Structure 1
Amino acid sequence: MNLNRRPFFKGFPKFVAASDELEVDEAGRSIYYWWWSFLRLSPVLWFAQETGIKPTDPQIAKVAESFGDLRTRYFDTWWRSTGRVIFAESKRPASVQLLALDQLHEHPFDPNKLYLEVPLSIRQQTIVKQFKALLSDVHAGRGLDLAAHSQAEFKLHTKRYRLHTIEAEYWVMLYRLLYPNIEVWRIGDRLQVAPQHRVRDGDGSILNSSKHALNSLTGRYLYKGRYSLLHAERGSFPNTDAIELSARHQPFGLKHQTDYRAATQDGKDGTKSVWAQWLDREFAAGLKFEIVCRQHVEHKMKMPDGKTRLRMAAFISGESDLLS
């Protein structure tokens, strides 16, 4: 198969997948999956899709329109219809090529390219050495911002990221959305974001010496996750730069602010908002599965009357620190 005819993605390790099925698989393990996942946690985009009301911020409005229906829980379906379109490069990166001497007058010389004369009468090692020296004078090397040269409709903010860190930010933020009153260190403990910080004894007693360190680390994941979501809403990802919104921020303007708040904020009597109910339906089971796996109690959860299974709900909500 001619890979030059396949879509090119700067967020794929090898940039190109050999088939549509392999492309979907590659996308599901890439930065694009987490971009999609973060956007699904946006109350602004959810409200826009539920009501058809357009956000007032043009950047968010563009994301709402271009990313399609984020309410679907199937990434594969979304990728095939939307993701591969908005993330594919419209032009492939330039490659090294040999210029034909008899056609130089027709060649479109580009100021972003380096043109050299290479004598073939000297040793290859000498050519390579001299080439590297000349290249180092004009090329940014490791400092080159590959994302800045993207031709995709939605460009990666940076190529310098760690998927493990982004994944941790996502799960910590999702946990807090589903359980807004749980203590931060308990989120870190349940998700095992730092297994070296052991905070529970077998009897459920808490080791305060480790609790503070875990609280600090998990809190950092939480606030960076919030920044990631705010930037993702505006078409920039992965991006954890600080971004602050006014307490009077009205993503749909004054006209729709009351309806937006009613749909996305829990009632004073503790009743869950429509948005919170949707989060529960879409994500609670996935979070539970993630916690079970990270606590390594999959086999114990298969016992219908086992202690771990009976205690899991209270453990996840933070009402109890006992599990096994």
Structure 2
Amino acid sequence: MKNETGNVDYPYTPPTVDELGLNPIFTSLGWDEVGETDWKESVYYWWWEYMKRNKEYGPGHPLWEDFGDINTDFREWWIAKGEYLFAEPRRMYTFKRVSEPISEEVYTDPNVMIVQVPLDQPVTELRQLFASYLDAFHTGDEPQQGIRAARSSQARYPVVGQPNVPALEKTLAVYDYRLKNNKMSLWEIWLALNPNMGRMIDPKCLTPEEVLDIPLTKASWTAAVSRYCKKAKAMIDNTGHGRFPDLSN
């Protein structure tokens, strides 16, 4: 999709910025009291979070010159690097009334349409005519346009695929919990993160037949945590190659 911040276009929604270039979540209220509704909704925030966990990244890494020090706070890093890394090249042409001579290359540029508008014609007719031109020359309707824009991104570091931001958050949460609690079994980690599922392995809450399924339930939870950790590790590793969220090996 097309997302604009000022005159800057991003293929995906960036952290919201105001006219000063500062993210509203970083205010006198502090970090922890304000950011849940904004920065975690941006894939670019999760790129930063995953890359922070890449142990190979640091001074001397091939991406260091571009991404810089990611161990600062997100606000500082985004303001310094966000547009450079993830924004589309600034558009050569914008929607405006032309008041000066037009260069020759504009007439042959497939991304620009030049029209002559007779202002003595009824507005309704002009709108219909303009709509017909858009139908004839535009590349598609808005949802398709957004998908194509993301896939054909010209950003220095385009986002891979169509990211599921809530899934990125959940995957990293499981990975982090596993690192901090590496003496716990995987099924115990799943239960710690999903305490409401405890009754599924509590014999007091189960029938005799269901009790027999407890080992299968634990095995299922073990497999789920393992999958999350493998996905997180792959995405963390690929941030070191300038790709996110990329599950390839």
Give TM-score scaled by structure 2 length.
Answer: 0.64
The structure-2 alpha-carbon separation of the partners of 1:223 and 1:195, relative to structure 1 and needing over 3 Å to count, comes to farther
Residue of structure 2 in register with 1:135 after alignment: 138
Does the aligned pair in 1 maintain the 2:11–2:149 contact within 8 Å? no
Residue of structure 2 in register with 1:108 after alignment: 106
CA distance in 2, matches of 1:33, 1:69: 15
Residue of structure 2 in register with 1:69 after alignment: 69
The structure-2 alpha-carbon separation of the partners of 1:88 and 1:16, relative to structure 1 and needing over 3 Å to count, comes to farther
Q: Offset of 1:5 from its aligned partner?
A: 5.9
Q: Offset of 1:75 from its aligned partner?
A: 2.6
Give TM-score scaled by structure 1 length.
Answer: 0.52
Q: Secondary structure at the match of 1:224?
A: helix
The structure-2 alpha-carbon separation of the partners of 1:215 and 1:65, relative to structure 1 and needing over 3 Å to count, comes to same
Alignment counterpart, residue 227 of structure 1, candidates 199, 218, 234:
234
The structure-2 alpha-carbon separation of the partners of 1:196 and 1:189, relative to structure 1 and needing over 3 Å to count, comes to closer
CA distance in 1, matches of 2:112, 2:223: 48
Residue of structure 2 in register with 1:146 after alignment: 150
CA distance in 2, matches of 1:81, 1:70: 11
Residue of structure 2 in register with 1:161 after alignment: 163
Q: Offset of 1:89 from its aligned partner?
A: 4.7
Q: Secondary structure at the match of 1:19?
A: coil
Runs (5+) with no aligned partner, structure 2: 27-37
Q: Which letter maps to 2:241?
A: R
Task: Tell me if 1:174 matches 2:176.
Answer: yes
Count the aligned residue pairs.
Answer: 223
Q: How does 1:24-43 map to 2 (within 5 A)?
A: 25=26, 26-27=38-39, 29-43=41-55
Q: Offset of 1:235 from its aligned partner?
A: 0.9
The structure-2 alpha-carbon separation of the partners of 1:92 and 1:198, relative to structure 1 and needing over 3 Å to count, comes to farther
The structure-2 alpha-carbon separation of the partners of 1:128 and 1:28, relative to structure 1 and needing over 3 Å to count, comes to same
Q: Offset of 1:142 from its aligned partner?
A: 5.0
CA distance in 1, matches of 2:6, 2:140: 34
Residue of structure 1 in register with 2:245 after alignment: 238
> RCO higher in 1 or 2 (8 Å CA, sep ≥ 6)?
2
Q: Secondary structure at the match of 1:91?
A: coil
Runs (5+) with no aligned partner, structure 1: 55-60, 244-324
The structure-2 alpha-carbon separation of the partners of 1:197 and 1:9, relative to structure 1 and needing over 3 Å to count, comes to farther
Identity of counterpart residues, as a percentage? 18
CA distance in 2, matches of 1:130, 1:197: 60
